[in-house]
Amino acid sequence: MTIGITTYVVYLAVSIALTIWVGRTIYKNGRVFLIDVFHGNETLADSVNHLLVVGFYLINFGYVSMALSLGYAVHDAQESIEALSTKVGMVLIVLGLMHFGNLFVFSCLRGIRRVRPQGPPIEPDAFTAVQQEA
Amino acid sequence: MFAMTVLYDPECGLCRRAHQWLAEQSKLVELRFIPCASDEARRHFPYLDHDLTTKDLTVVADNGAVYFGPKGWLMVLWALARYRDWSYRLAKPELLPTTKRVVSMISQHRYQLGRVAGLSK
């Protein structure tokens, strides 16, 4: 196995492991949150959670796959590590952005729920008698 | 609260346009429109000061609560499914004075604004 192939294999292994780790973290901790958002409806929460995580995996694996190609030859271990650091760093940044995107979706869902039951925004100026229609 | 009555000025083009727009919005609270100081308005609210309602938009809830001017506008926003969030935002202590100023300005110049926008009769 040439050093170039080794670099690719290490890149894929690290990227996939990181993606799965972040995905599982979102799945585990997001569930509690979604159950709260959907008033304890666990079936719906699990379903939405699953859909979100599938989207997360698709985008991340898609990026990992697209960013695989280095575009230049790697000759020794030092170049390999340098190439890896750039590639894995980008994967980490994309993962981070996706993670915050997920949190944003969660907080939006929560906002929808919170606003609903509130009363009028302001106190009335006065009260008057209302003549009911006959 | 299940319904609110909006006493609007039928003479002003801007108000009529706003009325049309409101009719199309999906509502969380039913809105009824009655021309201000009309016989119908006097019949529904016999103790209300109807001269005052000609000066600015007035909203009366079915529990008798009266919201005059900028408060009325906020209550109309609150009744709309899409703008309820905005009614809370605009009613916050930091924003309320600005909301009141802007709304009063629009109300006072409603005839001129309606003419400029080509909405008068």
User: Which of B2, B7, B48 should be substituted to probe chain A, the one whose Cβ sees the most A Cβ atoms within 10 Å?
Assistant: B48
Average pLDDT over residues A93-119: 77
Which residues of B fall within a CB distance of 8 Å from A121? 74-75, 78, 87-88, 90-91
Which residues of A fall within a CB distance of 8 Å from B45? 128-131
What's the alpha-carbon Rg for chain A, to the nearest Å?
25
* pTM, two decimal places: 0.54
Q: Rounded to an integer, what distance in angstroms lies between the CA atom of residue A17 and that of residue A26?
A: 14
pLDDT in tens, A37-52: 888 888 988 998 899 8
How high is the mean pLDDT of chain A?
85
Q: Is the distance from CB of A93 to CB of B40 less than 8 angstroms? A: no
Residues linked to residue B66 through DSSP beta bridges, in sequence order: A126, B60
Helices B70-79 + B96-108 axis angle, to 10: 100
Closest CA to A10 of A77, A56, A75, A59: A77
Q: Rounded to an integer, what distance in angstroms lies between the CA atom of residue A131 and that of residue B59?
A: 15
Between A117 and B1, name the one with better pLDDT. B1
Q: How many CA atoms lie within 13 A of B51 on its CB side?
A: 0
pLDDT in tens, B63-115: 889 999 889 989 999 999 888 888 888 888 888 888 888 888 888 888 888 78
Percent of chain A with pLDDT strictly greater than 70: 93
**B5 pLDDT band (50/70/90 cuts)?**
very high
Extract the tokens encoding A50.
Answer: 């699953």
Instruction: Tell me the residue ranges of DSSP E strands in B1-121.
Output: 3-8, 30-35, 58-61, 65-68
pLDDT in tens, B101-117: 888 888 888 888 878 77
Listing DSSP states for B50-76 in one string gives: HHHHTTS-EEEETTSEEEETHHHHHHH
pLDDT in tens, A20-39: 998 898 888 888 888 888 88
pLDDT in tens, A58-83: 999 998 898 888 888 888 888 888 88
